[in-house]
């Protein structure tokens, strides 16, 4: 039985590379209210399971540190697979991480601000969506946690626009 809803499994890490460059968008504008983009976001991983609570992660105050740490690991090209579900760890290849770091994360520059946009809970999955303002771009950053150990089951990054 899959550990992740079919909706999230439909997205693949190589999509990060397929998204191309960063388009234009007004960084001060409110996040879009339309349906989420249909272009598949990128799948990426997150922090030590031993440091994680066995209670469900239900609010940003418990997640923001984990989300920021995973974003930094992705930027560095070095992820901690012990923080992932087995399925995510198996699907995520080192070459994909390296390509995403070089092609997508490096051009963004350092993250400057994380803003929580929304949270969704479905069964044992918790989804947190952030708008991340970086030195050279803005991205939508979605991180999903699953199960009682709060293992990361997916991270999706979608370019939104340049930083003004």
Count up the domains in the chain and report the number.
1
Quick check: is 11 in a domain? no
Helices vs. strands in the chain: H and E counts, helices first? 6, 4
Quick check: is 19 in a domain? no
Quick check: is 31 in a domain? no
Cα angle at 106 between 19 and 128, to 5 degrees?
A: 65
Tens-digit pLDDT profile for residues 93-119: 999 999 989 988 999 999 999 999 999
Tens-digit pLDDT profile for residues 117-159: 999 988 888 999 999 999 999 999 999 999 888 899 998 889 9
When pLDDT is cut at 50, 70 and 90, the band that residue 20 belongs to is: very low
Per the structure, the complete domain to which residue 114 belongs is given by 41-161
Handedness of CA 48, 55, 144, 64 (dihedral sign): negative
Whether pLDDT at 17 is above 60: no
Handedness of CA 40, 10, 116, 52 (dihedral sign): negative
> What is the pLDDT at residue 23?
29
Q: What is the CATH number of the domain that holds 70?
A: 3.10.450.590
Mean pLDDT, rounded, for 31-52: 46
Quick check: is 24 in a domain? no
Quick check: is 112 in a domain? yes
Quick check: is 59 in a domain? yes
> What is the pLDDT at residue 58?
59
When pLDDT is cut at 50, 70 and 90, the band that residue 42 belongs to is: very low
Quick check: is 15 in a domain? no
Quick check: is 57 in a domain? yes
């Amino acid at each position: 039985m899959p550990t992740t809803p079919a909706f999230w499994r439909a997205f693949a890490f190589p999509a990060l590379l397929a998204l191309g460059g960063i388009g234009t968008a007004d960084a001060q504008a409110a996040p879009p209210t339309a349906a989420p983009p249909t272009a598949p976001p990128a799948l990426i991983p997150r922090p030590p399971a031993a440091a994680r609570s066995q209670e469900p992660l239900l609010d940003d105050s418990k997640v923001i540190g984990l989300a920021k740490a995973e974003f930094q690991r992705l930027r560095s090209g070095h992820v901690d697979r012990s923080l992932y579900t087995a399925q995510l760890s198996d699907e995520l290849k080192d070459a994909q991480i390296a390509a995403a770091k070089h092609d997508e994360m490096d051009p963004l520059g350092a993250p400057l601000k994380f803003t929580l946009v929304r949270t969704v809970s479905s069964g044992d999955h918790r989804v947190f969506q952030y708008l991340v303002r970086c030195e050279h771009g803005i991205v939508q950053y979605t991180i999903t946690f699953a199960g009682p150990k709060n293992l990361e089951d997916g991270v999706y990054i979608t370019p939104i626009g340049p930083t003004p």
